[in-house]
Amino acid sequence: MKITTIFLGSALVTSSLFAADNLAKAAKDAGLIALPTNQAALAKLAEETAIDAKDFPSTPERVELGKKLFFEPLLSKSGIISCNTCHNLARGGVDGIPASTGHKWTPNPHHVNAPTVYNSVFNTVQFWDGRAAHLAAQAQGPMTADPEMASSPKLVEDRINSMPGYVEEFKKAWGDQKITFELITGTIGIFERTLNTPSRFDEFLAGKSDALNAEEKAGLKLFIDKGCTTCHIGINLGGTMQPFEVVKKYKFANVGDFKGDANGLVKTPVLRNVELTAPYFHNGAIWKLTDAIKEMGSIQLGIDISDKDAKSIATFFKSLTGKMPEVVYPILPAQSESTPIPALDY
């Protein structure tokens, strides 16, 4: 009897491992790609993926400088808004509100919210309408947009060049290169390449069968079987341009006037850390993850996803919450008497 019990137990373990291997293979066959969990391999992949890396190659000095610039509110006209304001690294890389709010407390005029900055180097494009090809180009947009940071390339250059601390750090990082708007935003992009979050899901795809629990595996299987991987593919399970409202109209389509790019395509939301990035959709009109899953099923796949199945898929999504990189808040260089003063435009 004991021998039989041991044999049956071993068979169950073997069966479970086989099922997990099959699920991992199905996930990969569906187009899902693991992030490396090894930090050196992860950094190498980010550098290889960044299409602006040829113009702005990474070094430790540039990463540190880029971090300071990411947190620097003096890049905004008012002197109170930084990149971190809308892409809060302590809050999943987002601001957690439906429409991002900028200069003079102005909400985004198109009622779009801020996508997460985490893992953004692995998006094929940046912004909801995909208008920027890489992180350096993306960083330029909010800085010069009136409802966001409301600055100008000249003001950004004048502020940074007026502070001896920054001038010294740019010299260490870039040698004798002139400190231009493009170099400033390119350096921010270098820092953003480091904001990657490998998760238990990546361990599962890499062969660690127990990295996900039974409920998360069931949710992953539903995610694949329902057809969610039609759009949510690749390393980020999103981040590529895809058709929107394929079968039905989005029920909150009238919130804001965003329509996607010229072809009606929209950048698919990144699902990594998705439990941290509410509210959902481009206009932040849905707050519950299960509601977002059901709405996606309806408008994209033409199917009704039950409350039970939506909850199961949301359980899988929690396995995509990754290990956040440690980011120590920097002490920023002092202003000088020649630093242009903030303009709040009250």
Answer whether residue 233 shows pLDDT above 70: yes
CB of 251 closer than 8 Å to CB of 295: yes
Q: What is the pLDDT of residue 304?
A: 97
Q: What is the pLDDT of residue 336?
A: 98
Q: What is the pLDDT of residue 180?
A: 98
Helix 307-317 vs helix 289-296: angle between axes, to the nearest 10 degrees?
A: 110
Q: What is the pLDDT of residue 13?
A: 45
Answer whether residue 7 shows pLDDT above 90: no
CB of 239 closer than 8 Å to CB of 196: no
Q: What is the pLDDT of residue 231?
A: 96
Q: What is the pLDDT of residue 249?
A: 96
- Domains along the chain with CATH numbers: 26-38+199-320 (1.10.760.10), 42-193 (1.10.760.10)
Over the chain, what is the mean pLDDT?
94
Read off the tokens for 291: 């509601």
pTM of the predicted model, to two decimals? 0.93
Residue 271, classed as helix, strand or coil, is coil
Answer whether residue 2 shows pLDDT above 70: no
CB of 161 closer than 8 Å to CB of 335: no
Answer whether residue 61 shows pLDDT above 60: yes
Residue 243, classed as helix, strand or coil, is strand
- Over the stretch 282-302, which tens digit does the pLDDT of each residue have? 999 999 999 999 999 999 999
Q: Which residues are annotated as a binding site?
A: 83, 86-87, 103, 228, 231-232, 296
The sign of the CA dihedral 324, 325, 329, 335 is negative
- What is the mean pLDDT of the segment spanning 29-56? 96
Answer whether residue 12 shows pLDDT above 50: no
Q: What is the pLDDT of residue 15?
A: 53
Answer whether residue 154 shows pLDDT above 70: yes
Q: Which residues are annotated as a binding site for heme c?
A: 83, 86-87, 103, 228, 231-232, 296
- What is the mean pLDDT of the segment spanning 207-223? 98
Answer whether residue 37 shows pLDDT above 50: yes
Q: What is the pLDDT of residue 346?
A: 83
Q: What is the pLDDT of residue 16?
A: 57
> What positions carry a catalytic annotation?
148
- Altogether, the residues listed in the chain come to a count of 346
Q: Which amino acid is at 338?
A: S
- Over the stretch 242-258, which tens digit does the pLDDT of each residue have? 999 999 999 999 999 99
Q: What is the pLDDT of residue 21?
A: 87
- What is the mean pLDDT of the segment spanning 210-218? 98
| Burial class of 25 by CB neighbour count within 10 A (0 to 12, 13 to 18, 19+) | exposed
Which residues are within 8 A (CB) of 244 and not within 5 positions of it... i.e. 6 or more apart?
250, 260, 264, 265, 266, 299, 300
The CA angle 126-248-26, to the nearest 5 degrees, is: 65
Nearest CA among 115, 129, 138, 109 for reference residue 264: 129
Answer whether residue 78 shows pLDDT above 50: yes
CB-CB neighbours of 294 under 10 Å:
20
pLDDT band of residue 33 (cuts 50, 70, 90) is very high
- What is the mean pLDDT of the segment spanning 147-159? 97
